[in-house]
């Protein structure tokens, strides 16, 4: 940058810059079963609308259970550009388990909440750093999925299973936005993508459902944790 403020760490990596926003935690808390048929989803309403043009990034970490937890459509953000109001965290209709866990709502821009400290603004007068807004750091991403098997439902949909070993640390959250969008397919419907969390065997599954059956699957599962 030609002017402004910049901080670098001991490895000469820029950790704060007055031109680039950091990924900031806007809201966080717990989600619980309260929405949809059988309460197999959780509706989290934001304390105030998020006014970014792009939807916020939703990270979630379901509570550890002694079994296979089948998360459904992950995290569907409600609202529209400039007025994002809530998120729905979904599950499969799974006997014995309900959507309970923790969530983080993050954007590339801060909220002006600190009573004192440091605050940086962009050239458009948007707050991009506030010392009272915690940051979220990406920790790892998985794209090396192993194809397990494919089955077919009575209506003709193909269900593909992919896996990757994962140790499920308590302080890492999965980015749910990517698991809401349909993947491109050979038809105009696409494939839905879900995550299954096998805690006892330390395996994370991606499960796709679609009317046609491409086996390739490279979508990353991205994890992050609060920088505290």
Q: What is the pLDDT of residues 87-102, one digit of tens each?
A: 999 887 676 788 899 9
Number of compact structural domains in the chain: 2
pLDDT tens-digit series, residues 207-222 = 988 887 777 888 899 9
Domain that holds residue 159: 140-221
Residues 63 and 133 grouped into a single domain: yes
| CA 199 – CA 140 distance, rounded (Å) | 18
| CA 25 – CA 201 distance, rounded (Å) | 31
Q: Does 226 fall in a domain?
A: no
Q: From the CB of residue 29, how many other CB atoms can be counted at a distance below 10 Å?
A: 11
- Output the pLDDT for position 120: 82
| CA 33 – CA 40 distance, rounded (Å) | 6
Q: Which of 103, 125, 135 is nearest to 25 (CA)?
A: 135
Q: Does 178 fall in a domain?
A: yes
pLDDT tens-digit series, residues 124-154 = 787 877 878 888 889 999 888 999 999 888 8
- Output the pLDDT for position 162: 94
- Output the pLDDT for position 166: 94
- Output the pLDDT for position 182: 65
Residues 73 and 169 grouped into a single domain: no
Residues 133 and 161 grouped into a single domain: no
| CA 98 – CA 210 distance, rounded (Å) | 25
Q: What are phi and psi of 90, to 5 degrees?
A: -110, 165
Can you list the residues of the chain whose pLDDT is less than 50?
A: none
Q: Does 76 fall in a domain?
A: yes
- Output the pLDDT for position 38: 79
Query: Which pTM value belongs to this model?
Result: 0.86
Residues 42 and 110 grouped into a single domain: yes
- Residue whose structure tokens are 């936005």: 177
């Amino acid at each position: 940058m030609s002017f402004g403020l910049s901080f670098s760490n001991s490895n000469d990596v820029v950790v704060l810059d007055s031109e680039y926003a950091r990924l900031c935690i806007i809201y966080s808390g717990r989600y619980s079963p309260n929405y949809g048929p059988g309460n197999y989803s959780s509706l989290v309403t934001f304390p105030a609308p998020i006014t970014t043009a792009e939807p916020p990034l939703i990270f979630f970490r379901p509570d550890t259970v002694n079994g296979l937890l089948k998360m459904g459509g992950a995290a569907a953000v409600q609202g529209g550009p400039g007025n994002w109001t809530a998120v729905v965290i979904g599950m499969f209709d799974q006997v014995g388990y309900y959507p309970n866990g923790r969530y983080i709502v993050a954007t590339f821009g801060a909220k002006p909440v600190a009573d004192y400290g440091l605050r940086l603004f962009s050239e458009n007068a948007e707050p991009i750093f506030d010392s009272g807004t915690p940051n979220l750091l990406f920790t790892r991403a998985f794209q090396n999925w192993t194809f397990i098997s494919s089955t077919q439902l009575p209506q003709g949909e193909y269900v593909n299973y992919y896996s990757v070993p994962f140790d499920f640390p308590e302080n890492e959250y999965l980015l749910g936005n990517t698991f809401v969008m349909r993947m491109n397919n050979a038809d105009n419907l696409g494939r839905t993508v879900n995550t299954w969390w096998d805690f006892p065997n330390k395996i994370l599954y991606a499960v796709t459902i679609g009317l046609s059956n491409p086996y390739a699957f490279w979508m990353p599962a991205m994890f992050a944790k609060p920088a505290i």
